[in-house]
Amino acid sequence: MHARDAEALVRPLLWIGFDGKIPPPEAARLVHQGVSGVILFARNVGTPDETRALNRELKAIAPGPLLLSVDQEGGRVARLTEGFERFPSLRELSTLSAPEVRAIGTRLGAQVRGAGFDIDLAPVVDVDSNPDNPVIGERSFSRDPEVVATLGAAMIEGLEREVAACAKHFPGHGDTDKDSHYDLPRLSHGLERLHACELKPFRAAIAARVSCVMTTHVVFEALDRGTPATMSAPAINLLRRELGFGGVCVSDCLEMKAISEHFGCGNAAVRAIAAGVDALLVSHTVDAQHEVIEALAAAVMDHTISEGRVREARTRLERLARLHARAV
């Protein structure tokens, strides 16, 4: 296989981001060449009309279905704000019933779909078990795994009436005292504790037919000593085989420092795809995006990653696009 063919094979495994309200030429070129997804942030969007126009432009550039995603969780993590309804944080919803949360999820999903997106990278189903956690907090429904499981499943059922939902951050970022945007958290919990706490909401999310699950850049020593879940075959096997998830497994952004400063984006991308991840978020720089494509292509050419593994990931992404990618 030639390098050009290998790059074409692996490019759909990438979901990219960019700066600004107009796609720069480098991002437009990657979309035209076949990356399967784009993630937008507050830096990209404006009013509902402006956001729809950008999403329409991105879909027009793409050679086929393009999956557009956004982190619209509610509370402090809300990218759509100008002229959009404000939704409360998940913690603020914790006293509501499951039907009430499901209805809010449907309304949130309609907002995201109405702005031209196909995927809401929500909800957080981490259990907020560590009061010193710098990144989860009110983004979680509760410190009680049963509450998180019940209300997380309800939110997913509501969202999935309108868009694809994404349960995050597998296997759980709730008990860390470090933020993986800036450092590499490690947890020494045994498997019994993981099943009793962290994994309960993910089981419920899968039972609720969530479309996507996002991995976390946290090392779980009981699963894979020294290796973050995003790059860990034991962690992904737990998700696939034991929990029975058959949808798209997407990484958290590979440019977060837990990955980029400890492993490098290209190396991490190869290890993540080999482990069983289907889509890689590279949300910021074109250099990192090309580094990932080139590293994956080289790994296919030297058989570090099999063509079968790439095609398996592409099949899941194509199924997600058939179900959820729509014209704006």
Instruction: Provide the pLDDT for residue 177.
Output: 65
Report the CATH number at residue 145: 3.20.20.300
Give the residue numbers marked as catalytic: 181, 252
Instruction: Provide the pLDDT for residue 180.
Output: 67
Q: E strands, 109-247, where?
A: 119-120, 164-170, 186-187, 212-215, 219-220
* Apex 142 CA angle, 136 and 147, nearest 5: 135
- The count of domains in the chain is 1
Instruction: Provide the pLDDT for residue 239.
Output: 97
Three-state secondary structure along 207-221? HCCCCEEEECCCEEC
What is the C-alpha to C-alpha distance for residues 156 and 324, in angstroms, rounded to an integer?
Answer: 14
Q: State if pTM tops 0.85.
A: yes
What is the C-alpha to C-alpha distance for residues 153 and 167, in angstroms, rounded to an integer?
Answer: 9
Instruction: Provide the pLDDT for residue 130.
Output: 80
What's the one-letter identity of residue 233? A
Give the residue ranges of the chain where pLDDT is below 70.
177-180
Beta-strand relationship, 72-74 and 77-78? antiparallel
Instruction: Provide the pLDDT for residue 11.
Output: 98
Give the domain extent around 166: 3-324
